[in-house]
Amino acid sequence: MDKLIITAAVTGAEVTRDLQPNLPLTPEEIAEEAYNCYKAGASIIHVHARDEEGKPTQDYEYYKKIKEAIENRCNVIFQPSTGGATWHSFEERMQPLRLNPEMATLSAGTSNFGDDIFINTNEYIEKFAEEMLKRNVKPEIEVFERGMIKNALTLVKKALLKPPLHFDFVLGVPGACPGEIEDLVYMVSKIPSDSTWTVAGIGRYELPLAMHAIAMGGHVRVGFEDNIYFKKGEKAKSNAQLVERIANLAKEYGRDIATPDEARKILNIR
Ligand code: KMH
Ligand code: ZN
């Protein structure tokens, strides 16, 4: 089994300080949190930028500041979001790719997202994939529903995605696929056998899905984007606290934690 890659999704686009007082918002806060997560065992930081008012932004300059601030602290893999918030335009969502990051997310279809719709038409998906291919950015294929795996395989046929693919099963988003263990097992059974995968369990699904992923040979994403609690009724003190718990569970199980360079090898990153 490969070493475990832990991704920390430290900010997201939906969570507010009212909901999670320790949410990092400014580039400096995000970079500091990234560094703490790295020390706790994370090798990838999934980033959503926020503006001065704490609102989600896909602006190139904010992502640039965050990337540089993280790089000044450690060599963790910077993975900006091309998903943004549900209300961001396609053009806004494209902006972080101009930084030529090692990795970026690629949402592979449309789904309900709470009370909103997260729109990813075939045209969007193809254009994101094309841009990532052109810039040699490793896509993390975000899967919210089963049909999105099929969409990704269509992109392989069109030579817009190059295997081996890397999937992130985002399970438990209200309005999309729930995060029962059976959902994860089913999704994993439908991807090509040479793929790698991680799981982001939303809310109460985070911990049970992470524990199963550790045992199944997958990888794990945690962080305030997905879950603001450490346990029922107790909010997490930091993203690093959530990362540390996963690292401890994996070690107890006998699975080592990947460093950023080991994660680069496992994921075939340039
Ligand atoms: N905030 C969601 C609407 C991604 O980062 O690529 C989309 C999202 C996916 O978080
Ligand atoms: Zn995200």
Residue 257 pairs with which residues in a beta bridge? 4
Per-residue model confidence as pLDDT tens digits over 45-70 = 999 999 999 999 999 999 999 999 99
Per-residue model confidence as pLDDT tens digits over 181-221 = 999 999 999 999 999 999 999 999 999 999 999 999 999 99
- Separation of CA 47 and ligand 2 centre (Å): 7
Q: What are phi and psi of 179, to 5 degrees?
A: -120, 45
Considering the domain boundaries, does residue 128 fall inside one? yes
What is the count of structural domains for the chain?
Answer: 1
Residues with Cβ within 5 Å of ion ligand 2? 81
Considering the domain boundaries, does residue 158 fall inside one? yes
Tell me the CATH number at 120: 3.20.20.70
Q: Whose CA is nearest to atom 4 of ligand 1?
A: 83
Contacts of 145 (CB under 8 A, 6+ apart): 109, 111, 176, 177
Considering the domain boundaries, does residue 59 fall inside one? yes
Counting ligands in written order, the one closest to the CA of 144 is 1
Considering the domain boundaries, does residue 139 fall inside one? yes
Domain that holds residue 108: 6-266
- Separation of CA 226 and ligand 2 centre (Å): 9
Query: Using an 8 Å Cβ cutoff, are 165 and 195 in contact?
Result: yes
Considering the domain boundaries, does residue 143 fall inside one? yes
Reported ipTM: the value is: 0.99
Considering the domain boundaries, does residue 100 fall inside one? yes
Query: 270 pLDDT band (50/70/90 cuts)?
Result: confident
Provide residues with CB under 6 Å of ligand 1: 13, 81-83, 85-86, 105, 107, 113, 118, 142
Per-residue model confidence as pLDDT tens digits over 115-136 = 999 999 999 999 999 999 999 9
Reported residue count of the chain is 270
Considering the domain boundaries, does residue 1 fall inside one? no
- Separation of CA 82 and ligand 2 centre (Å): 8
Q: Is the pLDDT of residue 252 over 90?
A: yes
